[in-house]
Amino acid sequence: MASRKRSLVDNGQQDGVVLAGKQMKAGDKRHVAALVLARGGSKGIPLKNIKMLAGTPLIGWVLRAAVDSEMFDSVWVSTDHDDIEKVAKSWGAKVHRRSPEVSRDSSTSLETIQEFMRLNPEVDVMCNIQATSPCLHPFHVKEALEMITLQGFDSVFSVVRRHQFRWEEVKKGSAEFTKPLNLAPSKRPRRQDWDGELYENGSFYFTTRDLVNEGLLQGGKVAYYEMHPEYSVDIDVDIDWPVAEQRVLRYGYFGRNTPEVVRLMFCNVSGCLTDGRIFLAVSGEEMVSINTRDTTGIHMLQREEVEVVLLTSSEDLVVQSLADKLAKRTGCQVMQVGEEPLNDLKPMLAQRKLLWKDVAYMGNNKPDVSCLSLAGLSAVPGDAPVVAINAAKYTCHSVGGMGALREFAEHILLQKEKAKSQMKQDRIDSTF
């Protein structure tokens, strides 16, 4: 894990001053809750909070990080929309149905948080996590919360360091000249000679009940937690979406069981390599098709020493015939599975001495749910039913039979590249 620099400040103090916060006494226990505000009436991007980003609902990224951090006594989503409620619950969150009074366009985050705290009196410390910050990781909230529980701060919020020169705004038609706000033009510093400035990145805000009652999210002994720029992603308008998606694929958190290297991949042929259509010849013969992009995806994995096993059902003879032909072309093993594929695959993992976290799984229906949930990396085509989508860690843009396997293969190999880069960074950090 790359090293992260954290700085602490107090109201009226200079940046970098470390406060001697009072530590909690042994046995002290405060209820710490995570709260994600997700109103259904987003104007910039309709239902933005549950729109799919890099194969996961936007809100799912931060809920996954919050739940996996194991630092919260409860994780909540505050919403006024039925669909957002369903998604929130599928990602392990409780739901606070906000009142109409705090669901208006003019409603503030503070008003919504105050309502939540009033209706949940057991909560002592609250972390408002922004749904639009999909590169949040468990270690971010863990380290920030420890600044409250172990160092005695009252509020902690996330920031990012930026090297941007600011100038005073001049209104159109004014005769005034602009002035520099944070630099001397005659002594314009090089980037490497300037520490830059700290900006709120909006990822999270920890605060106490007392401060919320006073109408504050930041107050008392205040500290900031600095996040590296690669984790500071915010989404406000449509144009942000493709940029955020590429950032999340590289720097997002995909779950605690994400494997460093996938050694084995299972793929359900029906619905993943096929599109559900059956072609009937004049002779009465039934045929199905396969996309060459998907066979390319298989070869991509095999070149990286990932074994690919194709799963079929004994009840689907047409797909079985297709899988057998595909196996001859690609060298894949074909395996028949029953109504619960998990039972048939366990012996294979035991034989290869692999854990489910070392495995990738691609399925498309309810029988695949157990394997999708257990696998270190899992995916479904874009047209899979909701029950399968909710169990998978990645939902492809492509539908079944139209390149979904190729897309998942690229995702698997990207995670492998990320793991290598992180290991390299860890070695660099260890030398300092």
The torsion angle over the Cα atoms of residues 138, 144, 147 and 150, rounded to 10 degrees, is -10
Angstrom distance (rounded) from CA 341 to CA 312: 10
Assign 313 a pLDDT band (cuts: 50, 70, 90).
confident
- Residue scoring higher pLDDT (315 or 311): 311
Which pLDDT belongs to residue 10?
42
Q: Could you give the domains of the chain? A: 32-251 (3.90.550.10), 264-420 (3.40.50.1000)
What is the number of helices (H) and of strands (E) in the chain? 13, 17
What's the whole-number mean pLDDT along residues 185-206? 92
- Band (pLDDT 50/70/90 cuts) for residue 398 is very high
Distances (CA, A) of 97 to 39, 65, 115: 10, 22, 10
Tell me the DSSP string of 152-181. --SEEEEEEEE----B----TT--PPP-BS
Please report which helix (H) or strand (E) contains residue 227, including its range: strand 222-227
Whole-model pTM: value is 0.72
Q: What is the pLDDT of residue 422?
A: 58
- Point out the catalytic residue in the list 162, 188, 329, 352: 188
Quick check: is 188 catalytic? yes
Q: Flag whether pLDDT at 301 surpasses 80.
A: yes
